[in-house]
Amino acid sequence: MQKRKLGNSGLEVSAIGLGCMGLSFGYGPAVQRADGIALIRSAFEAGVTFFDTAECYGPFVNEELVGEAVAPFRDQIVIATKFGFQDGDSKQPVDSRPERIRAVAEASLKRLKTDRIDLFYQHRVDPNVPIEEVAGTVKDLIREGKVKHFGLSEAGAQTIRRAHAVQPVAALQSEYSLWWREPEQSVLPTLEALGIGFVPFSPLGKGFLTGAINAYTAFASNDFRNVVPRFSEENRKANAALVDLLGKIADAKGVTRAQIALAWLLAQKPWIVPIPGTTKLHRLKENVGAAAVALSADDMTAVESALRDIRIVGERYPAHMQQRIDR
């Protein structure tokens, strides 16, 4: 697979990474440990060198899974993990106090079975801790060799600039896809101006853009899409027009909807690296295959033109989660 550099940081990764959260957390029952390890190792064999996890995925068990899975090829890949929640639990308030950041770094290093974190993200901006203090703490960890690069997640343009002035930000991770394009307004121009890479999570709209989900799909009881407004039965029905459009474009190219959605992201900027997640080997192969799908300028114009007539319905998070998004 082709490689990409995340902005000016020099951090080089595969053009498509693997979001590992869903193996342990968020989308229904966790996979069997052996199956999760096998999938991560299959991703590496397919050319993926960028693996994304966080202490709160589980909590904690996803980091342990990733650490065990990548151990045979640790020095050939990039591991990204995150700090930012009280007690490592995303249901708890945000917590980016310096002592908490340091504690998370030490614990994550042990769970990941490694001596350095390649990319350490602040998972959500903490309004109670100045971002300069957060960046300064990670800067110290970088000086100590425990962290290689600093990242932010779901941060707004002003926060990104303030953090970058203290410690260069290698990458921003935020949701971005054909059905969530808000980052185009102010975040993407800021990243381009500062030379920061962009890592879109949920690049397939939490599975919706694959075409595998319709208005009648039933999610597992512990699947967080049950509480996402955009995934209500009514909204799924309304948003089917986007999936239908993707299907027409994909059929004309002889590829899948997911591959078009990922290729569209890759065609936006050379410093964008999406991290689709999956628990299925055939979906992994499909996603990796998107790196070979080239969309021309005419293709991109045609997609843009078709999208103008489609209105996406429903918020992407419930209200209590929306409040954690920095703007």
Tokens 């703007």 belong to 327
Catalytic residue among 57, 121, 176, 317: 57
Q: Judge whether 57 counts as a catalytic residue.
A: yes
C-alpha to C-alpha distance for 152 and 174, rounded to whole angstroms:
8
- 139-168: burial string, b at 16+ Cβ within 10 Å, e else: eebbeeebbbbbbbbbbbbebbeebbebbb
C-alpha to C-alpha distance for 327 and 323, rounded to whole angstroms:
10
Is the Cα dihedral 204, 170, 62, 285 positive or negative?
positive
CA distances from 171 to 20, 100, 135, 273 (A): 18, 21, 13, 10
Is residue 16 within 8 A of residue 287, CB to CB? The reply is yes
Is residue 141 within 8 A of residue 178, CB to CB? The reply is no
Amino acid at residue number 138: V
Of 76, 83, 19, nearest in space to 52 by CA: 19
Edge-to-edge strand ranges of the sheet holding 147-153: 18-19, 50-52, 78-83, 117-122, 147-153, 169-175, 197-201
> Using CA atoms in the order 220, 222, 228, 230, what is the torsion angle rounded to 10 degrees?
-20
C-alpha to C-alpha distance for 201 and 177, rounded to whole angstroms:
8
C-alpha to C-alpha distance for 307 and 326, rounded to whole angstroms:
27
Please list the active-site residues. Answer: 57
